[in-house]
Amino acid sequence: MLHEPTQTKLYAMKLNGMAEAYDEQRAQPRGAELSFDERFGLLVERQWLWRENRALATRLTHARLKQPACIEDLDFSPARGLKRSLIDQLSPCDWVQHHQNIIITGPTGCGKTFVACALAHKACREGHRAIYFYAPKLFRALSNASADGSLTPLLKKIAKVQVLVVDDWGLVKADECQCRQFLEILDDRHGHGSTVITSQFPVNAWHEVVPDPTVADALLDRLIHNAHRLELKGDSLRKRPARP
């Protein structure tokens, strides 16, 4: 069989990884020394990797993470209060499979967003879908969706993802309607998805940013009872000099 028609058919069937590996095997003189099963196994492995990498790229694009953070790049300096043992526990992403939440608190600039994005990035690498929202923008999106009639599709979109990141919770006080909409989001996700919350405020002060005490109780109940807590410390990382 001619090489070019084979390549054309592989690409037509979207077997790009296999097509690339096929070209490489033909270019390697020692490739002929491998058995048919060995060569075919290498082709299948390359196609599998190509498909997995493409799927990961799609998940990361849809996640819209604020920072390109990886769990391997986390800073475990003692002054930060970030425990390596807890990150090692979270790394396999069992917390996503068990629909558990993560609450990350600490002063401004201590790296809360980076940690949240790193955990969401690891979840994407493990095959889970994620989405990131800066809290004030989330509440504006909810208000706009209510005004233009697109609230239901937005709520369904958020409910479907396995990991929801809400960054800087409490930075801006939401009104009662927005808090009830956020409660609806958490209620839809309860037992079906995981939520990662970052905040400058300790959890015991969260009641202050929710106008209705009843809604505040309901929000905290859905967030806290099955949550892993990371309490970061230290000076702002933004004050550190840039690396040369």
Residue 132 is classified by DSSP as: E
Place of tokens 């109780």: 217
pLDDT at 31: 64
- Residue 64 predicted with pLDDT over 80: yes
The identity of residue 212, as a single letter, is D
| pTM, two decimal places | 0.81
212, two tokens? 């209705």
Read off the pLDDT of residues 111-147 as tens digits, 9 standing for 90 and up. 999 999 999 999 999 999 999 999 999 999 999 999 9
Read off the pLDDT of residues 166-192 as tens digits, 9 standing for 90 and up. 999 988 878 888 889 999 999 999 889
pLDDT at 173: 79
Question: pLDDT: is 38 or 185 the higher one?
Answer: 185
DSSP per-residue string spanning 123-139 = HHHTT--EEEEEHHHHH
What size, in residues, is the chain? 244
* Domain ranges (residues) in the chain: 3-62, 65-237
Place of tokens 């490739």: 31
Average pLDDT, the chain: 87
pLDDT at 73: 93
Cα torsion angle, 14, 17, 20, 25, sign: negative
Q: Which CATH architecture has domain 65-237?
A: 3-Layer(aba) Sandwich (3.40)
